[in-house]
Structure 1
């Protein structure tokens, strides 16, 4: 019990470090740029111009910007710091008897893992060893399917992924993102709410689609059906009015990017 309290105090002190919180804010801004580029690439796919609309494609586009490699390395640092800050927040639930605190810790841990994965993708490109997310997803799915009970495990991964996407949709629709930021007043509040709602709902739908693809891959026992976020967005194009749906999601991803820029300043850290 005492060790848990000491761990929480240490995590709280580290999490309040001005240097760490400053770099973490840069991480939110970097995430914003990534989502803007993902939205742009999704528009290209919706209009049949090709490309990859996931983080890998976004980072490839980032390198093409003026000073792109510098921006990419700053992105790696910012996302890594943001993941570290989230890990420290997750550790605040250690030794606690509060179910609410444990739930928040699990959410922070999940976010930290996601940011670590995105940072690793950016780092691989910065080191000139780019990775393809579709291939990575297929390899991971193939590995899971090869395990005992692998089909059930992959279905579970799909359900968890779809659950995360549903959570983001609900978070946007119910404006739960207010808990993450210092909400401004006046017209700024309206703008933040519009961007937050559109951004979270669009991102959630994309992730739900990814979860469905994992489940389809498990049912068909074909890892190629689990083709990552890029594959999920491209799968939407095959639906009736798919181009329109993807254009709406692309706009939402760009809205999330703009919201992330605002969050870089307004986040409760």
Structure 2
């Protein structure tokens, strides 16, 4: 048999991808998409963290919204801000693609697998909206973000009595999600699973890896506390039957910062969100799509 024939036979014997997931795993460019999206996410959260800190210090103007969508308006105020927003739009769309890829790669039908699928789907939807908002700011130059989705949805749900129970349940679930984040990412260190050359123990990493783990722990604590605050205000809106009590990301922080103790809590949240952004930026070169095989 000639070398040409042997090469042809070897090629023919190579296993063909059996699914979209197998095809994606074989692509050399997929992790570059992940890393650019992860980097863009980090930049947004750094700006959110700084804005939240200014809210705690009660030095932020009312139109500086401490949320991922509000951060887009903040970026637009920078020199060459619209150009940066255009770059971030591309990055956020890459992050959306990363979430979709991650969803497709999940195998198995256990409850934890469907929970992960739901998380990836929600993240893809949320960052698609942020990317769309970025385009709107670039095109119109409007830096305001308007009412939050939480507040708009709460007003709609509280149009009838049954909605009160639905909103209350949503608030309880939101608080539960915050608690789950603490368990999954702070206690179990689940956030390191998509990082190469990174161990969940700080001491088992090199200096860079250890700093990434510390930043990730602090960042997830900050994110969890903010989510719990939002859930608390949603529950209060349901109990009082008053949609004005519902608070999105930004107004939950501003409401909490109304007292000295509350301002300290918001400051800690801001530092946590800033730490989460730093974690994303510092870890983006180590970010990869987790195989998501059944454990």
Separation (CA, whole Å) in 2 of partners of 1:16 and 1:212: 44
Which deviates the most, 84-93 or 62-71?
84-93
1:196 positional shift? 0.5
Structure 2: gaps spanning 5 or more residues: 1-15, 199-204, 290-295
Change (3 A) 1:15 1:153: farther
Q: Which residue number corresponds to residue 84 of structure 2? A: 71
Separation (CA, whole Å) in 2 of partners of 1:7 and 1:86: 21
Separation (CA, whole Å) in 1 of partners of 2:153 and 2:38: 28
1:20 positional shift? 5.1
Of 117, 130, 139 in structure 2, the residue corresponding to residue 105 of structure 1 is: 117
For 2:125, what is the secondary structure of its paired residue? helix
Of 49, 54, 59 in structure 1, the residue corresponding to residue 67 of structure 2 is: 54
Q: Which residue number corresponds to residue 33 of structure 2? A: 23
For 1:146, what is the secondary structure of its paired residue? coil
RMSD after superposition: 2.6
1:27 positional shift? 1.7
* Larger of the two Rg values belongs to structure: 2
Q: How many residues are treated as equivalent by the alignment?
A: 263
- TM-score normalised by structure 1 residue count: 0.86
Mapping 1:160-179, distance limit 5 Å: 160-170=173-183, 171-179=185-193
Separation (CA, whole Å) in 2 of partners of 1:112 and 1:120: 12
Separation (CA, whole Å) in 2 of partners of 1:71 and 1:257: 17
Q: Which residue number corresponds to residue 93 of structure 2? A: 80
Of 169, 185, 194 in structure 2, the residue corresponding to residue 180 of structure 1 is: 194
Of 2, 10, 13 in structure 1, the residue corresponding to residue 23 of structure 2 is: 13
Change (3 A) 1:131 1:197: same
Q: Is the 8 A contact 1:55 1:118 kept in 2?
A: yes
Mapping 1:198-237, distance limit 5 Å: 198-237=218-257
Q: Which residue number corresponds to residue 37 of structure 1? A: 47
Separation (CA, whole Å) in 1 of partners of 2:18 and 2:242: 44
For 2:136, what is the secondary structure of its paired residue? helix
Change (3 A) 1:10 1:225: same
Q: Which residue number corresponds to residue 123 of structure 1? A: 135
Separation (CA, whole Å) in 2 of partners of 1:24 and 1:267: 7
1:24 positional shift? 3.2
Which deviates the most, 8-17 or 186-195?
8-17
Structure 1: gaps spanning 5 or more residues: 1-5
Which deviates the most, 66-75 or 11-20?
11-20
Q: Which residue number corresponds to residue 193 of structure 1? A: 213
Q: Which residue number corresponds to residue 284 of structure 2? A: 264
2:103 corresponds to 1:90: yes
Change (3 A) 1:238 1:81: same
For 2:75, what is the secondary structure of its paired residue? helix
Q: Which residue number corresponds to residue 3 of structure 1? A: none
Task: Report which of the two has the higher share of helix.
Answer: 1
Q: Is the 8 A contact 2:34 2:287 kept in 1?
A: no
- TM-score normalised by structure 2 residue count: 0.79
**Post-superposition CA distance 1:175-197 (Å, at most 9, x none):** 22121212443111221111011
